[in-house]
Amino acid sequence: MAGNAIGLGNFWRFPYQLASNGGGAFMIPYFIALVFLGIPVMWIEWTTGRYGGKYGHGTIGPMFYLMARESLKPKTALIFGIIGGMLAFSVAALLSSYYYQIIGWSAAYTYYSLTGAYFGKDTVQFFLDYVADTKSVLLFWGLTMLFLGIAVGQGVSKGIERWVKVMMPLLYVFAILLVIRALTLGSPVKPEWSAIGGLEYIWKPDFQTLSENFFKISLAAAGQIFFTLSLGMGIIHNYASYLGPEDDVALSGLATVSLNEFAEVILGGSLAIPIAFAYMGPEAATKAGVGLAYMALPNVFMHMPGGQIFGAMWFLLLWFAGFTSAIATYNYLVAMLEEDIHLDRKIGTWAVFGFLFLLGLPVALDSTLAYLSELDMWVGSYFLVVLGLFDVIVAVWLFKPDNFWEELHKGAYMSIPGWFKPIMVYIAPLFMIVLLGGNTWNYIQMGAFSVSEAYVTEVLGYEYTPEVISLITRARIVILIIIILGALEAY
């Protein structure tokens, strides 16, 4: 579970979301969302998954159906199964279409570190040149997908588990070394730029910025909590379905959260942003957008002894961390084909490969990254939270709070304090309803395109050209098609 949770979300997505949403303004709702959404929903998903597993199910649809039946007629309970199945399919498909690209970037940067390709160059320009270099992007993304396909097709999860046990601790060790290096950088470019300035940007609470953009920043923070903890995706449900009915979920869920949050807030937070503040300056750091981590870190490697090897090791570890997360969504789609239409695993794997390749192609071909950013905004900051809301509605409300509390504590290695129960029953769902409602309201008020325009120009720092508009429109059409497909599949 930790190998699955810890991924590019920690080292790529967290810093860029944090930098794009006002640093210290983002951290306030981030911690609130961690306690009031992250931990409760983690427990809910472990519990739901273990419960479904008892009846031989590994996907959300039947799990939701079974739990909703506690208080609804079978026909009505079916609706919740379909909604859950639809959302899980859409998230798995759309998330994969861009997440695998970022893993591909890590593969490329492993190679470019080894060859020293970016040494002595402007790292921002190097990154922009890389994403515009279609052939290389396709190569590294394609190779990554091929590895994923082979791993999933052979069902090598056992082998992966062995690797995770070596690579994850190694990732922590490397990250700690890098953090020490990053924070002792001083001001290598300009005297007023420093890594410590980056830390200040993150850790100084900024209520002013937060209040100006309350709903947007809060939803982005909640979305990041979901993304990084692999919540709202059906992934935790799926993994937990392999547990025995008396295996602990309470302490295990909390341990997953703790391991991931250390890697995110302490390690991920002390790398890309402080390094970008030292080498690129605050202005460029907060305007960098989705490329931030890949623009920032090479600066450290090119200025350290043995930087080529160290850099290659780091990006390889990142690649692996992304890989072990990606396997989950890939496997989920294959499992669906196996369970629902009894497709052979090998055939299912390559069918999913073709499907994900088609979905990922427009992302790979778009050098402005507007298409990718649009997908990441919708999936990462919206759909995950919607699925999380249904998690609570089904597993706590419809399954009934007392049943849920009892189920959560079966075989538990810890006892969850009683005051957490109202958080799970009332506060968490209310929190999500307010966030989603507020954002939907903003969206309607501002008009569909001005939200994207503000996002593209202010957050990503691009010009809002006709090309960008058409990319964003295409991304939305694809999202719509995938949702409809998901509903059909779930039905």
Residues forming the site for ligand PHE (CB under 6 A): 4-5, 7-10, 95, 99, 227-228, 230, 233, 235, 325-326, 328-329
Least CB distance to Na ion at residue 168 (A): 12
Least CB distance to ligand PHE at residue 181 (A): 23
Residue 9 engages Na ion in binding (rule: CB under 5 A): yes
279 contact choice in Na ion, ligand PHE, none (CB below 5 to 8 Å, kind-dependent): none
Options 1, 3, 4, 10; binder of Na ion; rule CB under 5 A: 10
DSSP track, 400-440:
-HHHHHHHHHTT-SS---TTHHHIIIIIHHHHHHHHHHHHH
235 contact choice in Na ion, ligand PHE, none (CB below 5 to 8 Å, kind-dependent): ligand PHE
* Per-position b or e across 117-154, b if 16+ CB within 10 A of its CB: bbbeeebbebbbebbeeeebbeebbbebbebbbebbbe
With beta carbons less than 8 A apart as the criterion, state whether 387 and 89 touch. Answer: no
Nearer to ligand PHE, 254 or 284 (CB): 254
Least CB distance to Na ion at residue 383 (A): 17
**238-297: which residues touch Na ion (CB under 5 A)?**
260
Nearer to Na ion, 10 or 452 (CB): 10
48 contact choice in Na ion, ligand PHE, none (CB below 5 to 8 Å, kind-dependent): none
* Per-position b or e across 172-194, b if 16+ CB within 10 A of its CB: bebbeebbebbbebeeeeeeebb
CA 322 to centroid of chain Cα atoms: 10
What DSSP element (H or E) covers 112? helix 74-115
227 contact choice in Na ion, ligand PHE, none (CB below 5 to 8 Å, kind-dependent): ligand PHE
Q: In a 10 Å sphere around its CB, with 0-12 CB exposed, 13-18 middle and 19+ buried, how is residue 213 labelled?
A: middle
Nearer to ligand PHE, 230 or 308 (CB): 230
C-beta neighbour count of 236 within 10 angstroms:
29
Binding mask of the shown chain, residues 204 to 243, with x at each position contacting Na ion by CB under 5 A = ------------------------x---------------
Residue type present at position 314: W
Nearer to ligand PHE, 229 or 398 (CB): 229
DSSP-derived secondary structure letter, 246: T
Backbone angles phi, psi at 78, to 5 degrees: -60, -35
Least CB distance to ligand PHE at residue 329 (A): 4
Q: Which residues contact 221 (CB under 8 A, 6 or more apart)?
A: 17, 21, 26, 27, 28, 29, 30, 32, 33
100 contact choice in ligand PHE, Na ion, none (CB below 5 to 8 Å, kind-dependent): none
Nearer to ligand PHE, 326 or 364 (CB): 326
Q: Which residues contact 121 (CB under 8 A, 6 or more apart)?
A: none
Least CB distance to ligand PHE at residue 93 (A): 11
Least CB distance to ligand PHE at residue 73 (A): 34
The tokens for 298 are 């090479």
Least CB distance to ligand PHE at residue 415 (A): 27
The Cα–Cα gap between 173 and 314 comes to 10
Residue 59 engages Na ion in binding (rule: CB under 5 A): no
Least CB distance to ligand PHE at residue 202 (A): 18
Interface residues toward Na ion, by CB under 5 A: 5, 9-10, 228, 260
